[in-house]
Amino acid sequence: MKTNSLRWFIIFLVPLSSFAGRVRTLPTNSQEMPVIHLMTGRSTVLRFPSTPKKVIIGNQNYFNIEFIESDVTLQPLSLTTSNMFVYGDSFTFGFILKVNSTSEYDDLIFIRNKVPTYLLPKIEKTVVKASVLKKDLAYSIMDSKKKQLQLQEVGVFKWNESLQAFYTDIFITLKNLKKINTDSIKVQILSQNQDLNTIKPVFEEDHLLLNKKGRVRVFAKISPKQTLNLKIQIGKEEMTFHLKWKK
């Protein structure tokens, strides 16, 4: 009887343990976009070094978010992929949220500040360089001043391996409007009138103010061989800016 009871205990234990998520430490910084694996019906906790002040999710309608001191709890409502930005007093972190249909998901992640490579001490030794899938693409915005706004670019598209797409930050300054909600602003990267955006652009703030820079991060599948335009639509007015590649 004891043997049979033990056998049934093991049989029931295996499927239950297969749904256990993982606990891990994730070093990151403002220049990276690591992936967070989520699962519907499960909550994932991100524990930050200090209390976050604001969280922005690209597809916010598909996630429940809660704040508990330095923790941010995420619960996905459907199978989707989105981006998320977390802002605090001493950090700005970006993540890619992937909701999986399998049991491979994160239960608890300890987010830690990662020291940028250029700040690490140099060690003189032979280093085997790994092959780089995609190089950064330098660009500039032509005719960056319009009647309604002025643009300033970071000047480089960076590659994100998880999304298989490039991303860049653009700063928008309103010139003749006192205030406008960023939900009413449409930002697109176009090539021959084809929309190249892969994820909805994310603004750092909920609104833009007169003569104050506001940052938006744009994701797109691009190539240096393409002729690119940046289109910004505010209400019914559309403004198009040409992007010029730098050598």
Closest CA to 221 of 194, 246, 241: 194
> Can you give the pLDDT at residue 131?
46
**Residue in the structure block whose two tokens are 């998320």:** 84
Containing H/E element for 14? helix 2-17
> What are 108's strand-pairing partners?
23, 45
Q: Does 3 have pLDDT greater than 90?
A: no
Average pLDDT over residues 27-50: 90
pLDDT digits (tens, 9 = 90+) for 94-110: 999 999 877 788 989 99
Q: What span, in angstroms and rounded, lies between the C-alpha atoms of 56 and 205? A: 9
Mean pLDDT value across the chain = 83
pLDDT digits (tens, 9 = 90+) for 31-41: 889 999 999 88
What is the phi/psi pair of residue 183, to 5°?
A: -65, -25
pLDDT digits (tens, 9 = 90+) for 155-174: 999 988 877 889 999 999 99
pLDDT digits (tens, 9 = 90+) for 60-75: 889 999 988 889 999 9
Q: Which domains does the chain have, with CATH numbers?
A: 20-116 (2.60.40.1550), 137-245 (2.60.40.1150)
> Can you give the pLDDT at residue 105?
87
Average pLDDT over residues 120-134: 57
**Residue in the structure block whose two tokens are 């240096």:** 224
Q: Does 189 have pLDDT greater than 90?
A: yes
Q: What span, in angstroms and rounded, lies between the C-alpha atoms of 156 and 175? A: 25
Q: What span, in angstroms and rounded, lies between the C-alpha atoms of 247 and 238? A: 29
> Can you give the pLDDT at residue 13?
43
